[in-house]
Amino acid sequence: MKIKKLTCLLIVLSILCINSTTFANYNITPNPSSQSSILMEKSTGRILYSQNPHKKLPMASTTKIMTALVALEYGNLDDIVKIHPKSVGVEGSSIYLKHNEKITLKDLLYGLMLRSGNDAATAIAYHVGSSVEGFVELMNKKAKEIGALNTHFMNPHGLHHKDHYTTAYDLALITRAAMNIDEFRKISKTKLYISNGDIKRYFYNKNKALWQFSGGDGGKTGYTKSSGRCLVSTATRNGMQLISVVLNDGNWFNDCYNLLSYGFEMYSPSIILQKNQFIKNITVINGKQNYTSVINTSDIILPLTNLEKKEIKIILDMPEKLKAPIKKGQKIGTAKIYFKGKLLCSSILYAHREVVSKTLKDKLVDFFYNIFD
């Protein structure tokens, strides 16, 4: 009887272990229901997960990430914007602008990103680009500069147009560029904003990730009947910021959370090189000093799994000797970071101290020193 009970207990424990393992793997393996998705690490642009990342799709109000990016590049936050009549009563989400109302560009940007105001997007376009068409030209120009080559904009708000589209990859690139702007980061992570104009407006952020996901610090929602639910969410943990994008996804927030959780579970920020880190001493010919130390210009921090860390290789591309004079800060070469033979990134190496050339007197002293040595 005791043997039967023990056998039954072992079987139950085995089943529990199997289920537990399956559940754990499910939690860290993204399986988004989107048409297209991507997970990108912000500082390096490394893709940690993707599903149909280059499929061209409508993106609804996630368009407004580019609208904000262009507005911040060409406009001034303190600009006073007089509302154009065509910015009033725009279809869809609205902050209810009034004709001839005066409002700062800053307030419009918060209304754009937090409340997804299509009227705010149109007002920004008229102010920055003089017209919607002029602003759209700036948007498409910026997309090319960023490398979002499978993206085309027809308007600043994201309302459906057959020639208005992007890809999950491109949208991650656009978000990455926007996140390099301090004011964009500040706006994107704001939960509540009260406008400063004559008309007080309260903007609550539609991006629930700011409340629901640990480390959530930005992004943008989007929805039209044609695009389905689209979402960009960003989060930062341990100094590593991830960008998740899902397009046409009925389970948009949960899928973004699963992508982000996968990234934080599987990858960690690994310091490969540090800013001002000593690399090596390099011989200097005809210098008052025989060598100068070479140091690194910037931090190189990569998102890597534990196994990947062992496969990172650093190749120094620099001469073995240099001829004086050497200026402090002079570029000496580059440190190239490879993973499985693929170049991930590089960093400039420079001279840590100045080395002046020997004078005639120095050379004579050396000559006599060598004779009597």
For the annotated catalytic residues, the residue numbers are 61, 64, 116
Q: Smallest Cα–Cα separation from 108: which of 94, 123, 87?
A: 123
Look-up: residue for tokens 């948007």?
139
Residue 65 structure tokens: 């990430």
Report whether the peptide linkage leading into residue 325 is cis, meaning its omega lies within 30 degrees of zero: yes
Contact 240, 265 (CB under 8 A): no
270 has which bridge partners?
Answer: 302
- What order of strands is seen across the sheet that includes strand 216-224? 47-51, 36-41, 240-247, 228-237, 216-224
Decide: helix, strand or coil at residue 192.
Answer: strand
Residue 152 structure tokens: 């085309």
Residue 204 structure tokens: 């609550």
- Amino acid letter, 134: G
Q: Smallest Cα–Cα separation from 62: which of 108, 113, 111?
A: 113
Instruction: Note the helical H segments in the chain.
Output: 2-28, 64-74, 105-114, 118-129, 132-146, 168-178, 182-188, 209-212, 252-266, 306-309, 360-372
